[in-house]
């Protein structure tokens, strides 16, 4: 959501800020996109914080337009925001 997320693994706890969007259009698919970005980050060996940021970025893209499918590739978004994939 707009307040970000908290990622927990064992004793590790990371607070991840939400990426701001100019206007929220449709939240359909936001949770799925967050999960997809987060899990991709974990699968690629990113830290919990990095994976959380990737998930947050993926969710921010999908809520800025109608429909649950992203319009911009996550690899391109990550590059624009200085996140590694």
- Catalytic residue, candidates 18, 28, 32, 64: 32
Let me know if 76 is a catalytic residue: no
Q: Please name every residue paired with 10 in a beta bridge, in sequence order, or none if there are none.
A: none
- For residue 52, the number of C-alpha atoms closer than 13 Å in the C-beta half-sphere is 17
- For residue 43, the number of C-alpha atoms closer than 13 Å in the C-beta half-sphere is 7
User: What residues are labeled active site?
Assistant: 32
């Amino acid at each position: 959501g707009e307040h970000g997320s908290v990622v927990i693994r064992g004793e590790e706890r990371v607070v991840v800020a939400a990426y701001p969007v100019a206007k929220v259009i449709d939240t359909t698919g936001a949770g799925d996109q967050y999960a997809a970005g987060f899990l991709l980050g974990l699968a690629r060996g990113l830290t919990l914080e990095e994976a959380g940021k990737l998930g947050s970025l993926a969710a921010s893209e999908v809520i800025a337009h109608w429909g649950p499918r992203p319009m911009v590739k996550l690899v391109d978004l990550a590059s624009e925001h200085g996140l590694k994939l």
